[in-house]
């Protein structure tokens, strides 16, 4: 199982960041669950550069630029130099701040150019009765993958994050049957896009109101490979409880 802890802008002081890092390291050692932390950029820089643990680091986003006179932008090259292994690309909170499918496709190219593995977020705004949400997911996945080389496509980690389920609580997360169905659908679309039509090696995560109350059920009833966790990843007690549900 892979857990990506998306700290978003919840963590604003170094002491909290260090405490969460210590928790992540302990959990990775104790449980064998693969833990990836995605802190805000300044903390990521401090923690990732000296990291020798089993925990890996992810950027929450990267700039679409390639450097130069671009005030405020943090490029894939800079993140790679800071010690990140992964980058979340296309999170719905970045999409609502202006990231289009075209920008997301470019960002994927940038991360691969620097040896970073993308965690590509896709997900519908709402579930309609006619199954249009399936077309939304298919389109986002296809537009993101098409510019990539076949070998790169295999490495993309897909995080299915239905927007209607993000930032609430376990009662509002997806049900396990719906998740099982969507995971199969994503693997089917992925297979169409991958060399040899084989998506069995691709990792598919779920994100959206995952908490200690629902993580075990979601993991048990679907073929999901892990989770992208927001609010429940920034409280050490809650995060420990959540990860321990997986062992
Ligand atoms: P949440 O966030 O766990 O707070 O719903 C998940 C995400 O947005 O990645």
What is the structure's pLDDT at 198? 83
State pLDDT tens for residues 3-24.
999 999 999 999 999 999 999 9
Query: Where do the DSSP E strands lie in the chain?
Result: 2-6, 34-38, 56-59, 86-89, 117-122, 157-160, 204-207, 226-229
Length of the chain: 247
pLDDT digits (tens, 9 = 90+) for 186-245: 999 999 999 888 878 899 999 999 999 999 999 998 899 999 999 999 999 999 999 999
Range of the domain at 110: 2-244
Burial of 11-35, coded b for 16+ CB within 10 Å and e otherwise, reads: beeeebbeebbebbbbbbeebebbb
pLDDT band at 129 (very low <50, low <70, confident <90, very high): confident
132 assigned to active site: no
Q: How confident is the model at residue 31 (pLDDT cuts 50, 70, 90)?
A: very high
pTM of the model: 0.97
Closest-CA residue, ligand 1 atom 7, reads: 230
Distance 207 CA to ligand 1 centre (A): 6
State residue 119's pLDDT score.
98
CATH number at residue 113: 3.20.20.70
Question: How many domains is the chain partitioned into structurally?
Answer: 1
pLDDT per position as a tens digit, 39-61: 999 999 999 988 999 999 999 99
The chain-wide mean pLDDT, for the chain, equals 96
Does pLDDT of 161 surpass 90? Answer: yes
- Residues within a 6 A CB radius of ligand 1: 6, 161, 166-167, 207-210, 228-232
pLDDT at position 50 is 84
Q: Choosing from 91, 93, 124, 231, which is the catalytic residue?
A: 91
Q: Among residues 93, 161, 211, 231, which one is catalytic? A: 161
């Amino acid at each position: 199982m892979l857990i990506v802890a998306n700290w978003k802008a919840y963590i604003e002081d170094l002491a909290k960041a260090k405490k969460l890092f210590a928790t992540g390291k302990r959990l990775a050692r104790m449980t064998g669950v693969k833990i990836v932390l995605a802190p805000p950029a300044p903390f990521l820089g401090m923690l990732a550069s000296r990291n020798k643990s089993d925990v890996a680091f992810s950027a929450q986003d990267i700039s679409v630029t390639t450097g130069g006179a671009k005030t405020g932008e943090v490029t894939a090259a800079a993140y790679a130099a800071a010690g990140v292994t992964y980058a979340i690309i296309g999170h719905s909170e970045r999409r609502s701040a202006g990231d289009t499918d075209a920008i997301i496709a470019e960002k994927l190219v940038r991360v691969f150019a620097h040896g970073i593995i993308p965690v590509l977020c896709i997900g519908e705004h709402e579930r309609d009765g006619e199954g249009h949400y399936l077309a939304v997911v298919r389109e986002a996945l296809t537009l993101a993958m098409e510019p990539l080389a076949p070998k790169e496509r295999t490495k993309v980690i897909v995080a299915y994050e239905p927007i209607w389920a993000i930032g609430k609580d376990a009662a509002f997360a997806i049900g396990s049957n719906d998740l099982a169905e969507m995971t199969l659908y994503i693997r089917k679309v992925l297979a169409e896009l991958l060399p040899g039509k084989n998506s069995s090696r691709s990792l598919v995560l779920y994100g959206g109101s995952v908490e200690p109350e629902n993580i075990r059920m979601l993991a048990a009833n679907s073929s999901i490979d892990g989770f992208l966790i927001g609010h429940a990843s920034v409280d050490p007690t809650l995060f420990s409880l959540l990860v321990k549900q997986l062992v």
